[in-house]
Amino acid sequence: MTDWSDRTVTKRELIQRIADDLDQKKVIVRDVLQRFLDEIASELARGSRIEFREFGVFDVRERGHRRGQNPQTLTPVPVPPRRVVRFKPGSALRDLVGASSAQPVEQRPAPAPQPQAPAKPEAKVTPRPAPPQPPPTTPGSPF
């Protein structure tokens, strides 16, 4: 099985592919793609849920206040509540990604092997406390 996790596709590459496929100028494709991304970001900032059927759903969740830990000093640190973006893949995307682990959609060159780093001695692992349970949701609340 091939590990594609080292492969990063940039916005520039996507624009080039789409422009070539549609026989359009890159500047037009870039403007449309950027407008699309800006609209998604604006709607998420407003707290909206964005659904692309069979592809997936973007929504914003409220993460509650919790206690973190400074990894160097192991001192407890308060972490304030914040809003985070969540993506839940749809059925078509799950099927495509799940199937692509067995058969890539298109044949891509394998990434160059990375040199192995020398083995590090095992560090002492401090068990983490159980994460706090999220507050119960209120009917009609966006969170």
Domain match, 21 and 52 both: no
Domain match, 53 and 101 both: yes
Domain match, 95 and 56 both: yes
Confidence band for 98, pLDDT divided at 50, 70 and 90? confident
Whether 13 is in a domain gets the answer yes
Q: What integer is the mean pLDDT of 22-36?
A: 96
What does the pLDDT read at residue 20?
95
Q: What integer is the mean pLDDT of 35-43?
A: 96
What does the pLDDT read at residue 143?
45
Q: How many domains is the chain built from?
A: 2
3-class DSSP state for residue 79? strand
- The amino acid sitting at 139 is P
Whether 135 is in a domain gets the answer no
Evaluate whether 58 touches 49 at the Cβ level (below 8 Å).
yes
Angle at 66 between CA 60 and CA 68, to 5 degrees: 115
Whether 113 is in a domain gets the answer no
Q: Has residue 52 got a pLDDT over 90?
A: yes
Mean of the per-residue pLDDT values of the chain: 82
Domain match, 69 and 84 both: yes
Domain match, 83 and 55 both: yes
Whether 22 is in a domain gets the answer yes
Domain that holds residue 21: 9-46
Whether 124 is in a domain gets the answer no
pTM: 0.59
Q: What are phi and psi of 36, to 5 degrees?
A: -60, -50
Whether 130 is in a domain gets the answer no
Give the strand pairing for 76-79 and 50-52.
unpaired
Domain match, 35 and 84 both: no
Domain match, 74 and 39 both: no
Domain match, 34 and 54 both: no
Cα-atom radius of gyration of the chain, to the nearest Å?
A: 21
Whether 34 is in a domain gets the answer yes
Q: Quote the CA–CA distance of 132 and 65 in Å, as a whole number.
A: 9
Identify each DSSP E strand in the chain by its residue range.
50-52, 56-63, 66-69, 76-79, 82-89
Whether 59 is in a domain gets the answer yes
